[in-house]
Amino acid sequence: MNSTLAIIGGGASSIAFIDAFIEKHQSNSPDLIKITVFEKSKDLGPGNAYQGDAQSNLLNTKAGYITVFKDKPGDFFEWLNLYRYRWQPLYPNLEISEHTYAPRPLFGMYMANAFDRIVKKAFMKNIIVKVIRSEVIQLKERADQLSVTLKTATQKNYEFDSVVIACGTLSKSPFSPPISSKVHHTPYPISTLCNTVEKDDNVAIIGARLSAIDAVVGLIENGHTGKITLYSRSHLFPFVRGTQGRYKNTFLSAKYISERYTSLTLADLAELFNKEINLYHQTHPDESKENIVFPPPPIKDLSEFLSTEMNKANMNRGWQAVLYDTNAILALVWEMLVIEDKELFITSMMSAAMSMRVSIPRENALKIKSYLDNGQLEYIGGETQINTCSDNTLSVTSPEGTSAVDSIIYAVGSPRDIYLSDSELLRHMVDSGLAKPHKFGGIDVCTETYALLSKDEVISPSVYAIGEVTHGCFLFTSALDIIVRHANNCAQTIHSKLIKQVAPLLEA
């Protein structure tokens, strides 16, 4: 029996899914499986997050800890040593160790190689991986739900037994207001941004997370001389990562929580966190214990905040080690959290949590502080309003007044509202009723199987979604280890379905 599977997106989710699917498939199976990957960009493997771009874009995870393969910890670091001849001519001054925060484009090279490796590995198990370089703009399930038809931007139709949507991080739609050649709805690619923003432009960057930092560093390191202002709606900024290694949680673990709770509140989580921090410092008695305040207070002086953070980042930071290990349980915790606390967290605590959870390397903190201290960069907290005038000039209104600007860059991550995203496919799926928006963002899926939920909450037998488009269901889906975990679970679902379909035929 031949089976056909389409994957929409050729980035991390796609690689992790195919690798897991291959691992579950028997090498002596007589069945031919055809996997077709649809990728709209020129590169396979890097996806939106790790595309070839400015070398100033750094990973926020150490080289020794990051991998796209579930059962190969440290695969990236191993690749760096094995393939030094490939990347060193491009990064001649880069010193690599397990503790290096490598440039993201370099990780993109690793991802491209990883894609090549899984294609070869798949072939050995009678799985053919084909690539079509085109954007998928429509999906339609057959009336009997036995197959799905994909339509691409080139107006070609393809039919498959199953489809996995793995299209990665979404950008703000370029057709979202305000519309102007001087308004950039995503900072990526940074290299393109540096070529389109005039060197002496007065630039406003809306957002203050990782993508905003990439934009600031990328612009200035590529010769930007004009003023840049970071606008942080939450009055916050990412914390700086310490020197600590990995830690395995006891209280904030799936086993402990599942055995003791049927539901969770934010108060429960705070209690578990405090227990975990206390246990951490009992087992690490020589480390200083920080006084953690959540939510953190608004930042009034970003340079002073970064100075304090960089001093603390010279040592192990136990609370960060605890937080990073919760990646393994975020989906479980989010599912068990009572609805009123979910709503409270999304509306009032999400930005604060992300500023603490998604930290930055000390190298980037040093750069941002230097730009602040020399006066080229300014930081303003509070709500903003973008103004466009009849003469096509722009200005930004904030609690500190209204300032005329030459260029505006949105660096706010994936839009929670599908209709504000740049994905024609997702908008069409919602309009047709094939998918329904999740109240907390993205589209809704069955959290056990990753199967799509329709407008009428019917579970699709043939369309699945993983990655950033499911963030409403799982809360946080952008960390690579979380992407890999969800991709593996989804591969298990689809492979099990395939086995059930084949078994009766083998018995006959």
Per-residue confidence at 400, pLDDT binned at 50, 70, 90?
A: very high
Mean pLDDT, the chain, rounded, equals: 92
The H helix count followed by the E strand count for the chain is 17, 17
* Residue closest to 428 by CA, chosen among 42, 4, 8: 8
pLDDT in tens, 197-219: 999 999 999 999 999 999 999 99
Residue 502: pLDDT over 60:
no
pLDDT of 415: 83
CA pair distance 345, 350, nearest whole angstrom = 6
Q: Which run of H or of E encompasses 335?
A: helix 330-336
Residue 189: pLDDT over 80:
yes
Q: Where in the chain is the domain with CATH 3.50.50.60?
A: 3-48+120-170+416-507, 183-238+361-410
Q: pTM for the complete prediction?
A: 0.92
Per-residue confidence at 107, pLDDT binned at 50, 70, 90?
A: very high
pLDDT in tens, 464-489: 999 999 999 999 998 999 999 999 99
SS3 191: helix
CA pair distance 228, 212, nearest whole angstrom = 11
pLDDT of 25: 84
pLDDT of 171: 80
Place of tokens 């921090």: 277
What is the average pLDDT across 289-315? 96
The pairing of beta strand 407-410 with beta strand 203-206? parallel
What is the average pLDDT across 383-387? 93
Residue 501: pLDDT over 90:
no
Residue 504: pLDDT over 80:
no
Handedness of CA 421, 155, 168, 140 (dihedral sign): positive
CA pair distance 360, 458, nearest whole angstrom = 41
What is the average pLDDT across 35-55? 84
State what percent of residues in the chain have pLDDT above 90.
80
pLDDT of 130: 96
What is the average pLDDT across 345-358? 95
CA pair distance 337, 333, nearest whole angstrom = 6
pLDDT of 181: 86
Report how far Cα 98 is from the mean position of its chain's Cα atoms.
Answer: 22
Per-residue confidence at 174, pLDDT binned at 50, 70, 90?
A: confident
The CATH superfamily of 183-238+361-410 is FAD/NAD(P)-binding domain (3.50.50.60)
CATH code for the part of the protein at 3-48+120-170+416-507 = 3.50.50.60
CB 204 within 8 A of CB 429: no
**Bigger pLDDT: 391 vs 95:** 95
Angle between helices 480-507 and 12-24 (to 10 degrees): 40
